[in-house]
Amino acid sequence: MILGASFDTPDENRRFAAEQHFPFQLLSDGDRSVGRAYGVVRADDDQYAAYARRFSFLIDPEGVIRRIYDVADVKNHAGEVLADLEQLRQRT
């Protein structure tokens, strides 16, 4: 299962997901509690403090974080995650 999350409202997320043709759910973390738990909230003095740092987390079915990605290369990120997922599947 793939989930995305942002600090935007549910309505903003629905519009954005529709515009981008996301094939997965985009969740709203308006109070930033999930963002704080995952360490993606920026410092208050950061010029982009309104936005989460762009990270992805590969989490196994037991809820264990298997890999954390600092997403710098958006174009190739999905391929990297899929390759890692395949490696995890081969180990089990």
Going from the C-alpha of 92 to that of each of 61, 65, 81, 87, the distances in angstroms are 12, 16, 17, 9
Give the number of other CB atoms < 10 A from CB of residue 36: 11
Nearest to 80 by CA among 5, 71, 89: 71
**Contact partners, residue 40, CB within 8 Å, separation at least 6:** 52, 53, 54, 55
Q: Is the pLDDT of residue 92 over 80?
A: no
pLDDT at 91: 84
The tens digit of pLDDT for each residue in 16-70 reads 999 999 889 999 999 999 999 999 999 999 999 999 999 999 998 899 999 999 9
pLDDT at 38: 96
Distance (Å, rounded) from C-alpha 53 to C-alpha 39? 8
The tens digit of pLDDT for each residue in 1-30 reads 889 999 999 999 999 999 999 889 999 999
Domains (range + CATH), the chain:
3-91 (3.40.30.10)
